Amino acid sequence: MEEFVPKINYIGNGAQARLSLAKVHQANGEDDEAIADILTALKLNPKLVDGKILLAKILMEQGKYDEAVTQLEEVLRLDPELDEPWFLLAQVHAEHQRYEEAIHCCLQALKREPDSPDSHGLLGEVYQACRRYGEAVTSYRRALELNPQSEDIYYRLATALHEQGDEEAALAAVQEALHLNPALPQSHVTLGDIHCAGNDYEAALAEYKEALAINPSQADVHARMADIHQRRSMLNLAILEYRAALFIDPRMVSFHQKLGNIYVRLKEYDLAISHYKTALRLDSKDHTVHADLADVFFLLGWYEEALAEYRTALELVGIDCGEGSDLEAQGRRVEAIIACRRALGLEEIDLEQVAEEQVPASSYERDKRRERRYELNLPINIQAREGEEPYVASTGNISLHGVQVECDEELQVGEEIRIIVENTAKAKTIAARGRVVRLDRRKVGSGYVAGVELLPDREDSREWEEMLAFEEMI
């Protein structure tokens, strides 16, 4: 940088000199300085096309797409025969899923520069996003004719061929991508998808593991592995992979929903409900999750709650189930549920089988006291009363609805306490409110063991539920 500045000074302080200095700042990641120099250059020469294009690129990297578009449109007014502004506009439209506009801009760029591998590659990506796989394949192949060393285009060609159902050609393309760059994780993922489509699950899992070895932060790869385990009825392994996916990306609705579905198969209804509710807190408008939650409520015999969720699902898809409403008004709730499910297009259910599997609400509530608890010695802080200093304690076991607390201080049965967990991995404090329902003295001088029931209607107790659903600490 220090050696470069005198050369700029020698060239002068004109528009081109400022633009050259801006390029140096951009290469060093100094966007603010680069923009300042570009603006100075444009002040000296308002028709400096290269300056406007560079400014548009920086604005796009900063997510300021409207400002970038303004610059690019100004460039095209100054010189409509340039291909780069059309290519950059296509990128902006593709980023915002305005695919027809993106295709138009790509074609305009190619009209001006027919041998641009980047424009052919981008056009292929847009066609693929529109599920126009044949056109995508044609564009990718043309891009590879112009640049046969692009592992990224080979990878994208492989995905398009795979989605088109041409597994043999897809295999050849992804193998070429891996030949050019064996460390490209998405190529291993695509190869895994091809093996999975051929029911070669062991080979698919091997490729997914290879992709994770290269880049461990791929939540979708863990989800792919979970799907394979679920197909093979290896539900415990599927649960572990979905947990790993949620640890990486705890806000993925589909992961919570699929975990809920597995827990339903295992008749772990409390865990299923927890994941469905977490999914709905993330996206309350997903009608499929409302329907899945309704099905669990139906299995538990909670007909009113089930009907409420089915109604919500119907409203979200704009279906008026008059038959269900009439049956519910007559008190024929099971028939109303069947009508709602039929209106939603859900598969028919065997009422006799449901009756055999159904868990009465009263027995389910009793069984919550005997729900699965997990032995976990977790350091916590307890705040007995508002304003008091928290003191150190630990857990003996935990569940979604309660916690066994081991502490030196004597708690009072019936009092509410605040349980505080320091999640160092996420640099976050999680708290829950609970009520002491049992207190035992371990032995003289050794403190107490308290049974604490969490209060589900409290906002901070929902954080506890989210912690167990998101982090799967248990």
pLDDT in tens, 66-81: 999 999 999 999 999 9
What CA–CA distance (Å, rounded) separates 229 from 219? 16
Write out pLDDT tens, residues 89-135.
999 999 999 999 999 999 999 999 999 999 999 999 999 999 999 99
In a domain, 301, yes or no: yes
User: Which tops the pLDDT comparison, 414 or 283?
Assistant: 283
Domain residues for the domain of 415 are: 372-471
Q: Name the phi and psi angles at 297, rounded to 5.
A: -60, -40
- For residue 79, give Cα distances in angstroms to 178, 319, 324: 41, 52, 63
- For residue 403, give Cα distances in angstroms to 346, 360, 433, 471: 38, 25, 11, 17
In this structure, are 117 and 21 located in the same domain? yes
Please state, as a whole number, how many other Cβ atoms lie within 10 Å of the Cβ of residue 130.
Answer: 15
Domain total in the chain: 3
In this structure, are 172 and 294 located in the same domain? no
In this structure, are 340 and 418 located in the same domain? no
Look up tokens 């979905």; give the residue: 242
In a domain, 336, yes or no: yes
- For residue 407, give Cα distances in angstroms to 37, 379, 381, 391, 431: 63, 10, 10, 9, 17
In a domain, 68, yes or no: yes
CATH of the domain at 346: 1.25.40.10
Q: Which pTM value belongs to this model?
A: 0.68
E strand or H helix that includes residue 394? strand 391-398
Helix axes 219-231, 253-265, angle to 10 degrees: 20
Average model confidence (pLDDT) across the chain: 85
Please give the average per-residue pLDDT across 4-27, as a whole number.
71
In this structure, are 205 and 277 located in the same domain? no
In a domain, 288, yes or no: yes
- For residue 374, give Cα distances in angstroms to 256, 353, 409, 432: 20, 31, 23, 17
In this structure, are 40 and 163 located in the same domain? yes
What CA–CA distance (Å, rounded) separates 470 from 474? 11
The identity of residue 129, as a single letter, is: A
In this structure, are 344 and 378 located in the same domain? no
Q: Are 258 and 294 in contact (CB under 8 A)?
A: no
Domain end marker among 318, 352, 368: 368
CATH of the domain at 409: 2.40.10.220
In this structure, are 361 and 396 located in the same domain? no
Q: What is the pLDDT of residue 425?
A: 45
- For residue 296, give Cα distances in angstroms to 260, 292, 324: 10, 7, 18
Domain end marker among 211, 226, 259: 211
In a domain, 224, yes or no: no
Q: What is the pLDDT of residue 369?
A: 44
Alpha helices in 62-116 (DSSP H): 65-78, 84-95, 99-112
In this structure, are 251 and 302 located in the same domain? yes
In a domain, 443, yes or no: yes
- For residue 466, give Cα distances in angstroms to 233, 305, 344, 364, 369: 27, 21, 29, 22, 20
In this structure, are 194 and 289 located in the same domain? no
What CA–CA distance (Å, rounded) separates 204 from 403? 40
In a domain, 148, yes or no: yes
Write out pLDDT tens, residues 291-328.
999 999 998 888 999 999 999 999 999 999 999 999 99
Write out pLDDT tens, residues 236-271.
899 989 988 988 888 899 999 999 999 999 989 989
Q: Are 420 and 381 in contact (CB under 8 A)?
A: yes
Write out pLDDT tens, residues 170-212.
999 999 999 999 999 999 999 999 999 999 999 999 999 999 9
Q: Name the phi and psi angles at 376, rounded to 5.
A: -150, 115
User: Which tops the pLDDT comparison, 60 or 393?
Assistant: 60
Please give the average per-residue pLDDT across 385-397, as a whole number.
81
Domain end marker among 368, 394, 412: 368
pLDDT band at 473 (very low <50, low <70, confident <90, very high): very low
Q: What is the pLDDT of residue 470?
A: 45
In this structure, are 355 and 448 located in the same domain? no
In this structure, are 34 and 8 located in the same domain? yes
Write out pLDDT tens, residues 38-56.
898 889 898 889 989 999 8
Res 387 pLDDT > 80: no
The identity of residue 47, as a single letter, is: K
In this structure, are 182 and 239 located in the same domain? no
Write out pLDDT tens, residues 402-455.
788 888 888 887 788 888 876 544 556 777 888 888 877 665 456 788 888 877
In a domain, 216, yes or no: no
Residue positions counted in the chain:
474
Return the structure tokens found at 305: 């709650």
The identity of residue 91, as a single letter, is: Q
